[in-house]
Structure 1
Amino acid sequence: MMSGETTVYTVLEVLIAIICCLGNAPVIWAVWSSCALREPTFCFMLSLAVADFLVGFVAVPFAVLVDGQVSTSFNVCLIISCVVIMLTMASVLSLLAIAVDRYLRVVIPLRYRKTVTERRSWLVVGSCWFFAFLLSSPPILGWNRQEGSPSRNSSINCRFIAVIPGSYMVYFNFFLCTLTPLLVMTVLYFYIFCKIKSNLHGKVRCGSASHIYYQKERNLAQSLVLVLLLFAIGWLPLHLMNCVAYFGNASVLPRMGFHVGILLSHSNSAVNPIVYAFKIPKIQEAFLRIWKSFFVCRDYSQTSQSNPTTEDNTGSQPNIVINK
């Protein structure tokens, strides 16, 4: 029987999962269906939105399962845990791809469109997911807690820390695969803002096309930095607790602390669509277009069906124009 704390944790996870799915599905639809959002940056944002959607649809249910709620074999528990890790890796690599794309737009603006094509962008997106799979596979390949555990076919109380070793989570997952990309992205965005500031204040004429270009780049970069900042706020507390548990004494950290850290990390996937909707004009326009085409046109169609126009009583034929 679940304790009160576990019940609250499970309910909150379910709410976060619903918000993740309902929030990211329109983003995926908007980017995929809009020709105006086929730019490389939005391809990478689509990848991030898919990862966030899968966090709600897959990772959150799996996270509840690996909290000791079910009994599985060692292999099944290991695969479930690695899927959760893979989605995190996909988010980090998508954020890195976005930062590199923004860097190239500022550094090589004249050659950018020839260098970063839509085809190459989708290849990068595929590479992000492929490397996310590779980076999450070491536990399956042997870097796990199998030693001293029951045989792989025997049933265990499935918990993340029962199959994934702290050494992998701290040295590989955090230091190498999360903290290093975050530092690289921080440096890239710092350089981007310095370059944009230099161009706006010294190298381009106010009101010119170049001035407008760099203003748009600055506004979009600010929104993407906010996404990066929210990712760091959401995931660093859990990683820091893993470090304390690995290098120090795990008993000093209550289980509730880990539950709060997990909820915070998953909630990151729920807030990203809010940033897209309120901070990025092109996605706002796509949302409005979808709303009008789906709801407004639907209401108009229903109104037309309920109030059909009367036919012309004179029996005259409609005017038909034939282009000769």
Structure 2
Amino acid sequence: MEALNKTEESYTSDEIFITFIICLLLLMFLITFGNLLVLFTVYRNSSLAKKPIYIFTASLALVDFTTGLIGIPSLVIGKIKLLEQNSCSVFYFVPVVVLVTMSLSNLLLMTADRLFAIRFPLRYMVWMTAGRAVKLCCIVNVVGFVVGSASNMVSFGAELLLDSNYTSMCDRHLEMYNIYGVLVLAYLNINMTILSVVIMFFCYSYIFVRARRHMKERALRTDKQINTFDLKATKTTVTIVIAFIICLLPKGIQEYINESPDQASFMNTWPCLIVDLLILSNSMLNPFIYSRNKTVRKLYKQSLIVIISKFKINKPGINQADTSVMKSQSDIHTMESAIQ
């Protein structure tokens, strides 16, 4: 009877894990396609590519695209190796941690950009050029990469400097990671995430208090004004930040309550698998958040037509693809009042 119960539990566990893999593959498609569409839309509209807010949006979309292209396949391999009790599984979880940290650093940059744009609108127009925006994106992505990979860097350093009882590279790294890497992850990554959330909360609180004051001043017809475009961009950024926090919060709670001695068994239970899906789904949500605006949806549609036309054989004579995607100058001006 016990053997039968074990067989049923094993079957249920396998069924859950297979469902998880299928969901990950579907999520991978949605993330890569959605963020590729965002990147292509910004790229093919030169007026958008010159605006800092769209450059920051493209930077975040690039990180999300990488999450779908590299992070998810790596996570799938890591989960399978974790079930096999393979100590090399620790290497395959690194890309997801790094990419989530890079997403957080991009959100901090977008928050600082919105604060600067609302607080000092005239200085912002002069100082925040497209070139500076690109440089800032490069800096925050490098910082996010370093912070996200810090726990593994420390573990590699400990392998080189300290003796270990294990001869296998994977076993040695896992030992050092459990001793030193987990501490770095807890005190650096988790604390940085909490601090970042607190900073973004105060920044957006200030922004919306100032925006409310602006509405009162506008009602009194004073000369003090905040650009409507900046307010709309701020609202979209706030939505992205809130979605990120909601998706990340269950993972943070899981890290605090994880005291299971059987790590492989714990990490592959259905609550933990749902938490993993939730944190990865954040990369899928951003393109949908941008598309809430009608003009953005129109530009998405035009980008889709261009992409589809690349796979079609053009007939001699009239090029229907070029005709269908031709945009008037008014579309560009309308897009400037939309978000991403």
Residue 169 of structure 1 pairs with residue 185 of structure 2? yes
Which residue of 1 is the match for residue 299 of structure 2? 286
Task: Determine which structure has more spread, i.e. the larger CA radius of gyration.
Answer: 1
Structure 1: which 5+ runs fail to align?
Answer: 308-324
- Output the CA distance in 2 between the equivalents of 1:267 and 1:90: 15
Question: Does 1:5 find its partner at 2:21?
Answer: no
Tell me the SS of whatever aligns to 1:7: helix
* 1:220 and 2:210 matched: no
Check the 8 A contact 2:56/2:106 in 1, yes or no. Answer: yes
| Whole-angstrom distance in 2 between the partners of 1:48 and 1:306 | 34
Check 1:50–1:253 CA distance in 2 against 1; reply closer, same or farther (3 A cut).
closer
Q: Contact 2:78–2:89 at 8 Å: present in 1 too?
A: yes
Deviation readout 1:92-115 (Å, 9 max, x if unpaired) = 011111111111111111111221
TM-score, length basis structure 1: 0.78
How does the TM-score come out when normalised to structure 2? Answer: 0.75
* Alignment correspondent of 2:203: 188
- Match of 2:332? none
> Which residue of 2 is the match for residue 234 of structure 1?
247
- Equivalent in the alignment of 1:104: 116
Between 270-279 and 19-28, report the one with greater CA deviation. Answer: 270-279
Q: Say whether the 8 Å CA contact 1:166–1:246 is kept in structure 2.
A: no
State the partner residue of 1:198: 213
Give, as a single letter, the amino acid of the residue that structure 1 aligns with 2:56.
F
Counterpart of 1:272? Answer: 286
Q: Identify the residue that residue 61 of structure 1 maps to in structure 2.
A: 73
Paired position in structure 2 for 1:261: 275
Aligned equivalent of 1:316 = none
Task: Give the structure with the higher percent helix.
Answer: 2
1:144-190 deviation per Cα after TM superposition (whole angstroms, max 9, x unaligned): 8979774343579x9xx9798543333221122x1211111111111
The number of aligned residues is 301
1:205-250 deviations in Å (ceiling 9; x for gaps): 66x9975x53332222222111111101111101111011269998
8 Å contact kept, 2:34–2:287: yes
Does residue 117 (structure 1) correspond to residue 120 (structure 2)? The answer is no
- Secondary structure of the residue that 2:300 maps to in structure 1? helix
Using the aligned pairs only, state the percent identity.
18
